[in-house]
Amino acid sequence: MRMKLVTAGLVLGLLALPGASAAAETEADTAIAAETEADTAVTAETEADTASAEELKKAVHVCVHDPSVFEDADGMFYVVGSHTASASSEDLIEWKQLNFDYGNGKGLPFYGDLQTMLEEPFRWAGFNDGDCSGNGYAVWAPDLIWNPYYVWDDGDTGAYMLYLCCSSTWRRSCIAFLTAKELTGDYVYGDTIVYSGFTKNGEFDGKSSRDTSWDNDYLNLKELTELGASGGGIDEVSDNWFNADGSWNHTYAPNAIDPNVFFDASGEKLYMAYGSWSGGMFLLELDRETGRAVYPGTDGTDEPSGNFVDRYFGVHLIGGDHQSGEGPYISYDPESGYYYLYCTYGGLMAEGGYNMRLFRSENVTGPYLDAAGGNAADNKSNGDKYGIKLIGNYCFFDQIGKRAAGHNSQLNASDGSRYLVYHQRFDIKPQLEAHEVRVHQQFLNEENWPVTAVYEYRGEQPEHYETQEVVGTYEFINHGTKSSGDMLETQLVTLNEDGSVSGGVSGSWEKSDSGRGYDYLTMDLNGVGYHGIFFRQHKENTESDAVMTFTAIGDDNTCVWGSAADTAGGEMVAGMAAESLKKVIVNAVKEHGALPSEFMGCQISWTCSDENLLSQDGQILAPEEKTKVELTALIQSGETSLERSYNVTVKP
């Protein structure tokens, strides 16, 4: 899903809310750039640093929604995203904004003059129509690739290819591509290869009066049926695409957005994954010399995966029945031998439960399985059961909370390193839907899953650590499996020297040599097996020394993170307790229960603005009528005393 905002640090933007559909896409109308605590970075070298002061750079953030990352042969990195936003970097740390949004639609990096370049796809969707009426644009989620096999009309070979999507409603969309001999252009229009939202009855959709009949000349379906399957087209339109009344069957067919283009393990075959909500996400082979689709031509079943094949849309990978899910991104890792399929569940808003999921397969067409053995193709009901959830809504002590991390790409860089690249929103008030690009390193764990580093990339690298360097107390986050807009609980967990785990969770842990230059971490936590690594990193908003972290993937599709906690003096513990008490208080007030006198190792005493509603032993008492009160907790941890008030409503 797409929205536009600009940034110079943390972006503070105003977002126009989506329409009735949870999958509706929209753009923001205004944006404000502001520096925040999240941009402060370590500048001094310490003994604990794994990178020198010269190497450890301050992250410079940019605003590119739905970022797709690309490494050019000269070592430069680029991200391209929705609303024509783009940025570049020499090191994946300090980014430079190349373009924010459409502007007047002229002279844009990669696109040039939008109305001229995209004249053909705009006949169907994406300009001055439907959700982008009023001379607006809806150009979303591009993907950039170098294709050495592309053949130009003059006989030259090799092209930079930018695949993009245009959309007017949550179902009427199309995917097109542009080509250039140089990365910076000039680009030329190639073709529009997949359309969605067409009908048999021509009915209007959204705020549009466009004829949606499938046989209009601004679609490619009539031409394909004339070619037939034997001629590179399709034999006829499929009844599966339409409901009984001739309308678009969005529970079966995809929304043609969010293209991701990649070569298979051999480097010979070119594919495009795409789709959002609706009928799910699909895979089409592309002709590597032309960039156009190789349509299956007939319906069938893919032999390796067992997934169904649609004559036009390709191999079904995941989703359907309008199940939440978008932004597919497939990346082949030659070290592990797996194709990794990423996608994002939930609604894109800060409180929409947006979260990235991960599957893998030994075959490009699937089946794509998660850590618990679930098949991505089966997720069209109860989707949260499927896919490793990578990042939820979380907050470490004294840092800005993070929300709605999603619509990622992934980079296997030329030097062998791995990176997860995504857009990140924040837990701020008022919630203005700010977002920035974030880059986190990834490392293969013992099970050959890529685990994601806790903090953003700053140039550090993991290494081997002595046991004394990793034992101790950590802020602990379990990202869970639920697509929820709630902030996750941050607990305190201790890795003890005897190999036990205590605190918020219990179990055992073990460190071992990965043979890959870093240490594996194996844990059993409350009966769930986890596999990850240790990694000393710098926090995102502090001048302090680097801290030990761990990241691991569980057999139940959860990910856990740990960041070493400074419990001396009690300031961190008291602060964390104050935040975690919010949920405890809600439950106590609802059930007329007791407020805790001990919590997370802290001693707590309570007072209430209405003394008749709180007993001496901390019991919430029922009022005769609904009453608003202020509960005040005095939290004692070590040398720290912290007072925190909570406004609640107590019901009879």
Enumerate the active-site residues: 66, 326
Q: 12: which strand partners?
A: 32
Asked whether the beta carbons of 620 and 557 are under 8 A apart, the reply is no
Distance CA 285, CA 600 (A): 54
One-letter amino acid of 139: V
Contact criterion met (CB below 8 Å) for 608 and 631 = yes
- Among residues 485, 254, 281, the alpha carbon closest in space to that of 386 is found at 281
Is residue 18 reached through a cis peptide bond, with omega within 30 degrees of 0 on the bond before it? no
* Residue 67 in tokens: 């970022």
Question: For 7, what's the count of Cα atoms within 13 Å in the CB-facing half-sphere?
Answer: 32
Instruction: DSSP letter for 213, please.
Output: B
Number of neighbours of residue 15 by Cβ within 10 angstroms: 23
Rounded CA separation 408/67 (Å) = 6
What is the three-class DSSP state of 60?
strand
H or E element in which residue 33 lies: strand 30-34
What phi and psi values does residue 581 have, to the nearest 5 degrees?
A: -65, -20
Q: Give all strands (DSSP E) within 37-76, no chain letters.
A: 68-71
Helix (H) or strand (E) holding 388: strand 388-389
Q: Which residues contact 562 (CB under 8 A, 6 or more apart)?
A: 454, 474, 475, 476, 477, 493, 495, 549, 550, 551
Cα–Cα dist 444/367, whole Å: 21
Alpha-carbon torsion 571, 457, 435, 489, what sign?
Answer: negative
Q: Which residues contact 642 (CB under 8 A, 6 or more apart)?
A: 571, 574, 575, 578, 634, 635
What does the DSSP assignment read for 586-632? HHHHHHT-BPPSEETTEEEEEEESSGGGB-TTSBB---SS-EEEEEE
Distances from the Cα of 222 to the Cα of 92, 196, 219, 236, 299, angstroms: 45, 14, 7, 9, 18
The C-alpha atoms of residue 126 and residue 646 are separated, in whole angstroms, by 47
Q: How far apart are CA 137 and CA 457, in angstroms?
A: 33
CB 283 within 8 A of CB 364: yes
**Which amino acid belongs to residue 197?**
G
User: Contact at 8 Å (CB) between 532 and 551?
Assistant: yes
